[in-house]
Amino acid sequence: MLKKIGVSSPWDLFSDIPRELILEKPPRIGYGRSLSEYEVSRIVNSKLSQNRLFLDPPPFIGGGLCLHYVPAVVEHLVSRSEFYTAYTPYQPEINQGLLQVLFEYQSLVADLLEMDVVNASMYDMSTAVAEAVLMALRVTKRRQVLVPSTMHPEHYEVLKTWLLGHDIKLVKLGYDRETGYINREDLDRKLAANDTAAVYIEIPSYLGFIETEPEYIAEQAHKHGSLLIVGIEPLSLGIIKPPGRYNADIVVGEGQPLGLGLNYGGPLLGLFATKMDRKLLRQLPGRLIGVTKTIDSEREGYIMILQTREQHIKREKATSNITTNEALMAITATIYLSLLGGKGLRELAESIWIRSHYLANRLSELPKVRAPLFSSPFFKEFVVEFPIEYKYVFEKLLEKDILGGLGLEGPPLYNSRACLFCVTELHSRKDIDRLVEAIGEIL
């Protein structure tokens, strides 16, 4: 084979790797001999026993992914073999069950967002943001994208990576230090150049606060021919205005709160929706499931009506090369939303709102603690600033078997005395009081 392709040595196949990085001999790893199954089991269990579980109280750490309760029935139903083993429906007509549940997923998420079209589905919110921006660039043919300075730093890094080689300007918008809101003058000035493909906003933001005037941002973006992309947290829509009501063009979100758990960091679920606009619809990434009738009109059938992947019919004109199937996560979200219903979703959102604000109020009673740091309303997560370095507070909380908030010494705040606390339906009043008392003792 090497001779056929004109290679004299197997090492030539790795010529792009610097020689100093290539090991001359196998590394000294493992235990020097083969291990029996029982020995491997003991070693693994010994390592696992070093993990610390924070169940009482539950973790207060946030950053976009938070601990929520997953009903037992969700895990039971999604484990059915019909769902669990199903992969991409390459022959969709013979996979009616999977197509039907994906159609239900699209319908439920469309109702939740009050948007017209929902795809099924994306990897996670970070890649959904990147796909939305690329979609806006294709539709508008423009070269600039505006994002908030308070944007989720990991989502920003993913977006920046996806835009490499596209000759696109990714511009951060200034924000009000009191409220956290996007600076209106800065927005208007940067939109005036009329080269902005899209404005991206998060409601609630990575730092938890809720932009109360998204209509203004939407109006200004559309006035200059730009699209509005909105990143949402799905449970918050139980009590705050859905993006469809303030004329969002594209909506993305993280579906992890919809029954997915945390699972050591994944898998996740990227929500993606657009309004009914042919220009947007033709550039929609992923798959779109529809319903039709048989020739005799007596029965309904589910079909894949939009296939934009390169493995299907689009080839080099594909709008997305998403390959790993997220259908199982979409099914999980479908089951979770069906269980809650509209009333249940509102009650859950109210519960989270009340608990998180109770923690903020209790923390604000402590000397020289600012909670929340921003004066704007917030949902589930909020920023707290301490009079001392937060790293010290975090380490002392660990000694008390409490996993505290996420330190914000890095982007977007670069404040070593600040952290991001997350409170969900799993945190009782007793849990919150215990946290506050522990912090009071530390300070």
* Amino acid, single-letter form, for residue 40: V
pLDDT band at 326 (very low <50, low <70, confident <90, very high): confident
Alpha-helical (H) ranges within 79-226 are 81-84, 96-113, 125-140, 153-162, 184-191, 214-223
Note down the domain range covering 419: 341-442
pLDDT for position 313: 58
Residues 247 and 358 both lie in one domain:
no
Cα distance between residue 134 and residue 170, in whole Å: 12
Q: Which of 297, 321, 336 is the last residue of a domain?
A: 336
Cα distance between residue 401 and residue 386, in whole Å: 20
pTM summary value: 0.90
Residues 214 and 347 both lie in one domain:
no
pLDDT for position 287: 83
pLDDT for position 13: 87
Residue in 349, 343, 330, 344 with CA at minimum distance from that of residue 118 = 330
Task: Please check whether residue 67 lies inside any domain of the structure.
Answer: no
Residues 411 and 427 both lie in one domain:
yes
Residues 241 and 381 both lie in one domain:
no
Least confident of 91-95, 192-196, 202-206: 91-95
User: SS3 for 232?
Assistant: strand
Q: pLDDT tens, 231-269?
A: 999 999 999 999 999 999 999 999 999 999 888 777 899
Residues 178 and 311 both lie in one domain:
yes
Q: CA distances (Å), 253 to each of 202, 235, 271, in order?
A: 9, 11, 5
Q: Which long-range contacts (CB under 8 A, 24 or more apart) does 163-169 make?
A: 163/130, 163/133, 163/134, 166/134, 166/137, 167/143, 168/137, 168/143, 168/144, 169/143, 169/144, 169/145
- CA 214-162-308 angle, to 5 degrees, is 85
Residues 234 and 377 both lie in one domain:
no
Q: Which two tokens mark 272?
A: 């993606």
CB-CB contact of 102 with 330 (8 Å) = yes
What 8-state DSSP symbol labels residue 415? -
pLDDT for position 325: 62
Residues 369 and 401 both lie in one domain:
yes
Alpha-helical (H) ranges within 177-326 are 184-191, 214-223, 278-281
How much is the average pLDDT of 48-58? Answer: 91
Task: Please check whether residue 379 lies inside any domain of the structure.
Answer: yes
Residues 99 and 146 both lie in one domain:
yes
Residues 288 and 404 both lie in one domain:
no
Bridge-based pairing of strands 287-293 and 144-148 is unpaired
Bridge-based pairing of strands 196-203 and 227-232 is parallel
Total domains present in the chain: 2
Cα distance between residue 436 and residue 301, in whole Å: 55
Q: pLDDT tens, 3-38?
A: 898 888 888 888 889 988 988 888 888 888 889 999
Task: Please check whether residue 94 lies inside any domain of the structure.
Answer: yes
Residues 240 and 112 both lie in one domain:
yes
Task: Please check whether residue 412 lies inside any domain of the structure.
Answer: yes
How much is the average pLDDT of 198-209? Answer: 97
Residues 167 and 212 both lie in one domain:
yes
Q: Which two tokens mark 401?
A: 């078997």
pLDDT band at 115 (very low <50, low <70, confident <90, very high): very high
Domain harbouring 107, CATH code: 3.40.640.10
Q: pLDDT tens, 366-418?
A: 999 999 999 999 999 999 999 999 999 999 999 999 999 999 999 999 999 99
Q: Which two tokens mark 364?
A: 């604000």
Rg (CA), the chain: 24
Task: Please check whether residue 60 lies inside any domain of the structure.
Answer: no
CB-CB contact of 209 with 179 (8 Å) = yes
Q: Which of 336, 366, 389 is the last residue of a domain?
A: 336
Domain harbouring 407, CATH code: 3.90.1150.10
pLDDT for position 11: 82
pLDDT band at 53 (very low <50, low <70, confident <90, very high): confident
Task: Please check whether residue 262 lies inside any domain of the structure.
Answer: yes
Task: Please check whether residue 41 lies inside any domain of the structure.
Answer: no
Q: Which of 316, 336, 356 is the last residue of a domain?
A: 336
Task: Please check whether residue 10 lies inside any domain of the structure.
Answer: no
Residues 388 and 261 both lie in one domain:
no
pLDDT for position 148: 97
